[in-house]
Copies of this chain bind each other. A is one copy, B any other.
């Protein structure tokens, strides 16, 4: 069977997914936006988001142009492939464009859906859920659609996986900036709003008197929707490309069909997600959390059945083993373990279980204990995820090997398997910030208690979905980067011509690992320090407004929302420079100075601490958030108690953990491994030691 057929199917399937997304987009846009006041508030949020996105994309275009030129120049040095630089640069630009498009579309539906969800909640819980989830699906579908379309097209044109790598690098570079920038933005606003509003003045969250309230709501969109969207987009692409690269390395021995197999798995995933999405429904008294989880599990089952059928049909039609059953086992083991990791991680962040309740209870004895206990549970929460990663790695490796294929290719497709359901996973995830925003708008525009309560029920379901997605995406990123790591080695072997062993006893490798271990913590620190720095500036501004115009607090005049939006926007962009340089330059410095084995160690080190800190920060943050919500719903003394005050501080600490530093780490390690693989041909030839 010719590979190109699959690429055409990929292009078609990608376009179909985008079409489905546009259909939902129109459906959501046609829903009733509600009262004038609600529409007014929503338009503030929309304008704030546009302001930031315009600034962000202007900056990103500049960065992308620089990188396009650099790549075009650097990769044109090989006389046997004179146009390689131009192609790589084109692929990079296209990848960046696709990533930006997915982020922008998701964002634009999110700021429409928030007010419509709030209004729909006035009719019924089920209708509110439906609007939010459909809007989330726009994000999910457009993302997988654009990704599969882009990768298929690029590979169809160039038939060179190294060029597809450029596409992936483009997507990831943009994602890193969008994610980290959005993460800094959202938590700057959130913390400043909380500390001045809830803590200093005792006014409720989302109170329109707070000058930071619009910035806070904008932040939910730019950080959680656009940022998270860009992030999963990049993992999805990177996982697929890593497996394609490995397939290409081994193509001579195992057959060219394994180059496109990762794309085929993506196609099956899109179909499964599209089917699964139809079954996510909530009745008038239904449980939104269960509905979301049901959709995910159902899609998994469909994926399993469809891929088995596909493998069977292809093998039957061609009369030979085109696709090895070992690879199916690898893929499915990745998927199943991914889901299991997601659900076990939920134990640490769901208020039905001991960790959240224990932190809520101990909060009455002081804030110090809230922090220490939550942090400790965050550390423990790594256990299931890391054991799962090890298990998935070994299972997929040895399954592939048992069927005579290279084990590492099995690891690569396991990562693709984990991410194959990105369509529905992102839908669940994007739902979260939309209902969070809907709740905010309902409160700010003075909708009835019934509406706010309904929005609240939807919101708490969003938190669990979000926690599951994070556990899931971190594990997938780990496997992806392991596959990319192997791809890196293959490239080094190919271009250096010798064997390539990264021996743990080699001091150069160890040195590389130790330096690599530094990068994720350092990156986290830089982004979090940016948050506190910017929040500090914004707090000063809020206090200034309250002091200069007492009418704001009395509720007789409107605060100047745009100044806070401006502080968050420009602060976030400025704060991105150093972390971005760290991500892109540090692997190049290590590679060109200390050599390819040191760079191998360096990547390894960054994966190890990257996974550890990503899990710690995401889970501890989620736990504190839910402990606070648990108390707010009347437990352990309820709102206003000492326990509540302590829990609010816990949540403040958790905010940059879970929404700024933690989730950027995935993208960080992906970008680092992409840079290394992309530059591996040069590093293999030119290095100081």
Answer whether residue A101 sits at the interface, using C-beta atoms and an 8 A cutoff. no
Q: Is the CB–CB distance between A372 and B507 below 8 Å?
A: no
> Can you spell out 19 A-B residue pairs with CB atoms less than 8 angstroms apart?
A191-B366, A367-B649, A368-B649, A371-B371, A372-B528, A372-B652, A378-B525, A380-B522, A380-B525, A382-B518, A393-B511, A397-B507, A407-B507, A501-B501, A502-B503, A502-B505, A504-B504, A513-B604, A517-B611
Interface residues as binary, A58-98 with B (CB distance below 8 Å gives 1, 0 otherwise): 00000000000000000000000000000000000000000
Q: Is the CB–CB distance between B518 and A386 below 8 Å?
A: yes
Q: Nearest 8 pairs between A and B by C-beta? A: A368-B652, A379-B525, A502-B504, A376-B525, A379-B521, A195-B366, A390-B511, A397-B507
Known: A373-B529, A536-B362. A386 touches B515 (CB 8 A): yes
Q: Is the CB–CB distance between A372 and B653 below 8 Å?
A: yes
| Main SS at interface, chain A | helix
Chain B residues with CB below 8 A from A372, complex form: 528, 531-532, 652-653, 656
**Residues of chain A at the chain B interface (Cβ within 8 Å):** 191, 194-195, 199, 362, 365-369, 371-373, 375-380, 382-383, 386-387, 389-390, 393-394, 397-398, 407-408, 411, 482, 485-486, 489, 501-505, 507-511, 513-515, 517-518, 521-522, 524-526, 528-529, 531-532, 535-536, 539, 600-601, 604-605, 608-609, 611-612, 616, 649, 652-653, 655-656
Q: Is the CB–CB distance between A510 and B482 below 8 Å?
A: yes
Q: Is the CB–CB distance between B411 and A517 below 8 Å?
A: no
Beyond the given A376-B532, A382-B521, please list 19 additional residue pairs across the A-B interface where CB-CB is below 8 A. Answer: A365-B535, A368-B653, A369-B536, A371-B653, A372-B531, A372-B656, A376-B525, A376-B528, A379-B521, A387-B515, A389-B514, A502-B505, A503-B503, A504-B504, A517-B608, A517-B609, A517-B612, A521-B616, A608-B609
Chain B residues with CB below 8 A from A394, complex form: 507-508, 511
Q: Is the CB–CB distance between B485 and A505 below 8 Å?
A: yes
Cβ 8 A contact of A535, one of B369, B376, B503? B369
Chain B residues with CB below 8 A from A482, complex form: 510
Nearest CB in chain B to that of A517: its residue: B608
| Assembly CA distance A410 to B593 (angstroms) | 23
| Assembly CA distance A507 to B373 (angstroms) | 34
| Assembly CA distance A368 to B187 (angstroms) | 12
Chain B residues with CB below 8 A from A524, complex form: 376, 379
Nearest CB in chain B to that of A371: its residue: B653
A368, A513, A532, A616: most-surrounded residue (chain B CB, <10 A): A368
Chain B residues with CB below 8 A from A389, complex form: 514
| Assembly CA distance A687 to B390 (angstroms) | 19
Nearest CB in chain B to that of A616: its residue: B521
Q: Is the CB–CB distance between A365 and B517 below 8 Å?
A: no
Nearest CB in chain B to that of A390: its residue: B511
In whole Å, how far is A105's beta carbon from the nearest beta carbon of chain B?
Answer: 33
Q: Is the CB–CB distance between B504 and A486 below 8 Å?
A: no
A408, A515, A526, A653: most-surrounded residue (chain B CB, <10 A): A653
Nearest CB in chain B to that of A361: its residue: B536
Chain B residues with CB below 8 A from A380, complex form: 522, 525-526, 529
| Assembly CA distance A625 to B456 (angstroms) | 40
Nearest CB in chain B to that of A540: its residue: B365
In whole Å, how far is A262's beta carbon from the nearest beta carbon of chain B?
Answer: 19
Chain B residues with CB below 8 A from A511, complex form: 390, 393-394
| Assembly CA distance A265 to B418 (angstroms) | 54
Q: Is the CB–CB distance between A514 and B608 below 8 Å?
A: yes
Known: A511-B394, A522-B379. A504 touches B368 (CB 8 A): no
| Assembly CA distance A485 to B509 (angstroms) | 14
In whole Å, how far is A131's beta carbon from the nearest beta carbon of chain B?
Answer: 33
Nearest CB in chain B to that of A531: its residue: B372
Cβ 8 A contact of A390, one of B398, B502, B514, B539? B514
In whole Å, how far is A575's beta carbon from the nearest beta carbon of chain B?
Answer: 12
Nearest CB in chain B to that of A509: its residue: B504
| Assembly CA distance A209 to B394 (angstroms) | 59
Nearest CB in chain B to that of A603: its residue: B504
Q: Is the CB–CB distance between B531 and A191 below 8 Å?
A: no
In whole Å, how far is A330's beta carbon from the nearest beta carbon of chain B?
Answer: 12
Cβ 8 A contact of A514, one of B367, B386, B513? B386
Chain B residues with CB below 8 A from A501, complex form: 501, 503, 505
Known: A375-B528, A379-B525, A507-B397. A517 touches B386 (CB 8 A): yes
In whole Å, how far is A443's beta carbon from the nearest beta carbon of chain B?
Answer: 22
In whole Å, how far is A545's beta carbon from the nearest beta carbon of chain B?
Answer: 16
Cβ 8 A contact of A510, one of B376, B393, B505, B518? B393
Chain B residues with CB below 8 A from A513, complex form: 604, 608
Chain B residues with CB below 8 A from A611, complex form: 514, 517
Nearest CB in chain B to that of A488: its residue: B505
| Assembly CA distance A336 to B14 (angstroms) | 60
In whole Å, how far is A216's beta carbon from the nearest beta carbon of chain B?
Answer: 15
Chain B residues with CB below 8 A from A393, complex form: 507, 510-511, 514
Chain B residues with CB below 8 A from A485, complex form: 505
Cβ 8 A contact of A367, one of B367, B390, B411? B367
Q: Is the CB–CB distance between A505 and B489 below 8 Å?
A: yes
In whole Å, how far is A389's beta carbon from the nearest beta carbon of chain B?
Answer: 6
Q: Is the CB–CB distance between B387 and A195 below 8 Å?
A: no
Chain B residues with CB below 8 A from A510, complex form: 393, 482
Q: Is the CB–CB distance between B408 and A525 below 8 Å?
A: no
Cβ 8 A contact of A507, one of B411, B529, B649? B411
